[in-house]
Chain A
């Protein structure tokens, strides 16, 4: 049984708000670039809705909003006290203030590091060879989100990091950072997870940082976009240093170029040598002062690079809406036009103008009308998810799911288990690792599928069984212990705990009558566990809506 002391604390949490409005963090002083971003989103979407005769969904209520923004910003649903505090807060600016508060929580940096790592290096969650690299790089990302390093600076540091390359084992190329620079050692994980290969690095960098999937052109000219095989290898050649040098150097060496041959590679299975070149057809002004990777970083993050800022802004958009303004986010071209070209363009410009400050962009997006719409379909014109006329239903990442279960059940999870990011090898006594393993997915958040084994785990698995049992459940014990509550109040508290909203009158009626008649076993306490189980297994809990 849970300790009495702990339960008393939980009772207190159920009853009292977690913080008071007076302790709100400061609102950024004007002029606020986030306001301008929200305004430009609203302007473009409103125009588009009017032109297409779309009736957008009504605004989300506070309960819908609080759950959504907790999930999107810190990677878990709110705890009951957090929900209650928000719902009871009378401040007209409380949504904005909540975002500010969440941005300062450690969960913000860890959630964004986790989703960024999953987007950039998905192989590090599933391939045992890359796990260590993923952890290293993820830790570095978490630090960058904590101190709010600008997004362009993050990319610049990744591209220009000092590396020592080791080719002694032909099966396994090895990249190490500078021994005196811990950051570089962590960033090296990005290269290691790409097997320290020019082709892998070239395709990753163009896809992740420019939103252009060049690798289809790796073997043949791109079927739909205007990229050729040569262009792919020219781009990969910025990482040509990651090919081992030929065993014997040519005997004749002409005039020495600034880069010697560190910007040149041979297309595999051909005799063709290519020199590093940007895929817009321009060349760096090669100089002995700058390495090919430094040249690439300069071009890529330059203010006039037409791919960079829109790509980063679009990826952030997709984080919050589940679908990018270009979607897939990395396949520009005639057959994948942006849904709102002008909005995408201006969003990129605004992000660049805000010095690529992630938090400004997040504030802007979360203040927009579209982000705050309900997810309920209320009019047939709202069905096209790319018009953002209602909030898209999004799946939870495995970590979001488990962290939300922790928040809803009061399960006390040791810190080291929370750090688990690797879904390959579930450990018997670590429920998070078992959820990560069972719920691993590389699908888009708006198109993910549920598997039979996932449903079975939620219905019959050890964790949910324990957490909904009378003997173990902290939350149920606390709810049953609140003095003076009638059954409906207990049901309402349970619904608030799991769904982050008050129960509807119908739910109150139905569940209370079930509990009052003792459920199926003539025990109202056991009947309450049934209700808890039902709530945890319902899609309202299992999706971000």
Chain B
């Protein structure tokens, strides 16, 4: 190597950690001191998104119409918040009424699964190819996450991305802000028991059983040399990102942190409490990740597309939802994490107040509900009001932008801040004309 090359390499090595990735190339595959250091600086806030894939029937959950023909057979029950009533199939959650803020005035524009998912998860209408908007998980984790953290800042549990993969992506923020996905339910399987435990692990995190640890260490040592030779001659952002990804992957493999995904270390009592289903165990994993300081975790509960037999299906789904969410609230509260963890519950739209001939409800974005809870949220109240038949919003109509801006305020994020986009124009975290619901923010 010439004099010149040596100088160049050293300068590059020194600079390489400065940007977002914050790892040094010379440290690639080498020292793992960073992990220990990073775990000291946990972010102050976390957010858990409970995503109801398929479009939940909010008229049967949060905004019942008893006595009206659109109301269906369900009754209302009281919660621990005076005057706040919810559907009878959420009894455990009713005990957390004081922590729930129900937004009953949601009124959005998209009644198609893909477009509705994209709208609710990015705040933007899907256009033709052009601007790729980031999902809310990418936006939030960029703001409140630590790029040097032991864990990825955005973890998506059991997503069902078949309606719209873009709605889950980092968009113009780039793959550094992409979610780490665990438990993607690829083929509509309904895993049980050990199958759930296996599914909820990070794909390929474990070294193949055929490779012993001495060989693995030797491989990484050789890889470091050959990696450094190549990238030091071709410096740039891409090489940095590549090095950072390998470094973080190896850190996750080698540190104790990977064990957070092993749910078998929890007691049977706790695991039963969350419910022995993918969503329940996913919520348990979400709690464990928040304990480790992960700033944004989302858990998906699917099968809400109840065009037929709505009331049987919703009752069944409520069983999973109620147990898992209530257990999550209990555990966060008991650990002192509820004040710093904001929970948002939503799907891509609500469902028609009018009950169809198949005893189902169809897609309905015009008047429906979402829920905010926990940290930064003034609970025990419902904001907004729908008409007696549930078809229109009569008070405080709330757009997706309003709801997302409210979430940002609760998390302490300046939603008017901009990010550079792929089209050269800076774009706000939550675009105009967002009007956050200030009375919900604590």
Name A residues whose Cβ lies closer than 8 Å to a Cβ of B: 120-123, 126-129, 171, 194-195, 199-200, 203-204, 207, 213, 215-216, 218, 223-224, 328, 331, 335-336, 375-380, 385, 393, 395, 423-426, 428, 440-443, 446-457, 459-461, 465, 469, 507, 510-511, 514, 519-521, 526, 530-531, 533-535, 537-540, 542-543, 545
Measured between beta carbons, the chain B residues less than 8 angstroms from A200 are 127-128
Interface-side segment among B211-219, B321-329, B389-397: B211-219
**The residue from A195, A395, A442, A455 contacting B245, defined by CB atoms under 8 A apart:** A455
In the bound complex, do residue A331 and residue B423 qualify as a contact, i.e. CB atoms below 8 Å apart?
yes
Chain A residues with CB under 8 A of B225: 510
Q: How far is the CB of B229 from chain A (nearest CB, A)?
A: 8
Please give the number of chain B residues whose Cβ is less than 8 angstroms from any Cβ of chain A in the complex: 69
Top 7 A-B pairs ranked by shortest CB distance? A520-B214, A450-B245, A455-B249, A200-B128, A126-B165, A449-B241, A456-B204
B383 interface residue, CB < 8 Å from A?
no
Contact indicator A440/B235 (Cβ below 8 Å): no
Residues of chain B having any CB pair with chain A under 8 Å: 4-5, 8, 111-112, 114, 127-130, 132, 152, 161-166, 174-176, 178, 180-181, 186-187, 202-208, 210-212, 214-215, 217-219, 222-223, 225-227, 230-231, 233-239, 241-242, 244-246, 248-250, 252-253, 422-425
- A453 is contacted by which of B181, B187, B211, B212 (Cβ under 8 Å)? B181
- Return A272 CB to nearest CB of chain B, in Å: 20
Cβ-defined partner of B424 (8 Å) among A120, A224, A385, A453: A224
Least distance between B293 CB and chain A CB atoms (Å): 17
User: Once A and B bind, how many residue pairs between them come within 8 Å at the CB atom?
Assistant: 194
A177 vs chain B, min Cβ distance (A): 20
Known A393-B238, A424-B161, A461-B204: A456·B219 in contact at CB below 8 Å: no
Check A215–B128 contact: CB distance below 8 A.
yes
Inter-chain contact B175/A449, CB cutoff 8 Å? yes
A137→B241 CA distance, assembly (Å) = 34
Q: A200-B127, A204-B128 are in contact. Are A216 and B248 (CB under 8 A)?
A: no
Question: In the complex, are the beta carbons of B129 and A121 less than 8 A apart?
Answer: yes
- The reply to whether B215 and A442 contact each other, CB–CB distance below 8 Å, is no
The smallest beta-carbon distance between A516 and chain B, in angstroms, is: 14
Query: With a CB–CB cut-off of 8 A, which chain B residues contact A335?
Result: 424
CB pair B166 A377 closer than 8 Å: no
> Could you say which of A199, A507, A545 contacts B234, with CB atoms under 8 Å apart?
A545
- CB-CB < 8 A to A218: which residues of B? 127
Q: Which residues of B contact A215 (CB under 8 A)?
A: 127-128, 130
CA distance A378 to B227 in the complex (A): 18
Instruction: Kindly list chain B residues whose C-beta atoms are within 8 Å of the C-beta of A443.
Output: 174-175
Q: Name the residue on B nearest A448 (C-beta).
A: B238
Contacts of A393 in B (CB 8 A): 234, 236, 238-239
CB <8 Å contact, B230 and A530: no
Q: Is the CB of A531 within 8 A of B423?
A: no
The secondary-structure label for the interface of chain A is loop
Chain A residues positioned under 8 Å from B202 (CB to CB): 453, 456
Distance from B141 Cβ to chain A, minimum over Cβ atoms (Å): 13
A-B contact pairs, 14 of them (CB 8 A): A120-B129, A122-B129, A199-B128, A331-B424, A378-B5, A393-B234, A447-B174, A448-B238, A453-B180, A459-B250, A520-B212, A531-B222, A534-B219, A538-B226
Which single member of B215, B223, B246 contacts A521 (CB below 8 Å)?
B215
Determine if B227 and A539 form an interchain contact, defined as CB atoms under 8 angstroms apart.
Answer: yes
Minimum distance in angstroms from B123 CB to a CB of chain A = 15
Query: Within 8 Å CB of A203, what residues of B?
Result: 127-128, 130
Q: B3: shortest Cβ distance to chain A, in Å? A: 13
Further 20 A-B residue pairs, CB within 8 A, beyond A450-B245, A452-B248, A456-B249: A126-B164, A127-B114, A171-B111, A204-B129, A224-B424, A328-B422, A376-B233, A377-B234, A428-B186, A443-B175, A447-B237, A449-B245, A456-B252, A456-B253, A465-B208, A469-B210, A533-B219, A534-B223, A538-B227, A539-B242
CA distance A425 to B161 in the complex (A): 9
A460 and B222 in contact, given A121-B129, A216-B425 (Cβ under 8 angstroms): no
